[in-house]
Amino acid sequence: MLLKDIIRNRYIYLMLLPVVVYYIIFSYLPMYGAQIAFKSFSPVNGIWGSTWIGLQHFEAFFQGIYFWRTFRNTLLISLYDILFGFPAPILLALLLNELRSLKYKRLVQSFTYMPHFISVIVVVGIMVDFLTRDGLVNLVLADLGLEKIAFLQSPEWFRGLYIGSGIWQQVGWGSIIFIAAIAGIDPTLYEAARVDGAGRFRQVMHITLPGIMPTIIILLILRLGNVMNVGYEKILLMYNPMVYETADVISTYVYRKGILDASFDYSSAVGLFNSVINLVLLVIANYTSRRVNGSGLW
């Protein structure tokens, strides 16, 4: 049956093939190297020839001075991103859907989409130009008679700047999928609601939001499955030793240990721990969603 299905839908499977090959090469084959997390890895001896040491790297990480700092920072940044960053595209999509002027709607969409196409390096460069001691923001504060703030050297400002800049850059692009979901809602539901006397706010609360709720749930589950994956690229560009207290996350720690210190086995153990936590959170989020709403990824 499978062979007949492949022959009958061969062109569809052919379109799927590049994606399958991509994930095999970059997601499944690298799993072979994950075993060095349990070995004292030596490039000379190779993966199989290295000595098996069990959970020593994991124990060293859990007992190390950086464990709680990196774990706490990773969790807090991700939770703040879910709390403030995840609802932002939904709110923007709802607001855009309420605009009656198509021309103005397209203009707002264009302006909110554009930051997505700006590279992270440029975004951080803009932040540096605006937030340094002699930057635009501090010049305005000085003109107002206020004290200048060392934004990029203050640990208490790092998380807010990281989350805020991320929302600014991705809110427009992230709203596309919710706008598409809203477009799929049956217009007759709105007509019936207006006949019953429902205003625009009640239509949003009782028609629009329930209509896009399955999309929200699926994306939230996927986001919860990446709670421990805080991208290190932007943090590396933003942070400095003065803000390590709130900026150092697991991914940047893995980068320093694996790339800078060439401790491949230890960094693999830390990365594997991170992935296992993400997997557990993904399963819990999907199970909870299925029990509460009856929908999930599987």
At residue 236, the pLDDT reads: 86
Cα 106 to the center of its chain, rounded Å: 26
Helices (H), the chain: 2-8, 10-23, 46-49, 56-63, 67-80, 87-97, 102-113, 120-131, 136-143, 155-183, 187-195, 200-203, 209-224, 232-238, 244-247, 250-255, 264-292
At residue 84, the pLDDT reads: 93
At residue 163, the pLDDT reads: 93
How far is Cα 246 from Cα 248, in angstroms, rounded to an integer? 6
At residue 162, the pLDDT reads: 92
At residue 87, the pLDDT reads: 94
At residue 255, the pLDDT reads: 86
At residue 182, the pLDDT reads: 92
Q: Tell me the pTM.
A: 0.83
At residue 275, the pLDDT reads: 85
At residue 24, the pLDDT reads: 92
* Averages of pLDDT over each 10 residues, the chain, 298 residues: 81 90 89 87 84 89 89 91 93 90 87 90 90 86 86 89 92 92 90 87 90 88 81 83 87 85 86 86 82 71
**Partner residues linked to 39 by β-bridges:** 52
Are 93 and 175 in contact by the 8 Å Cβ rule? The answer is yes
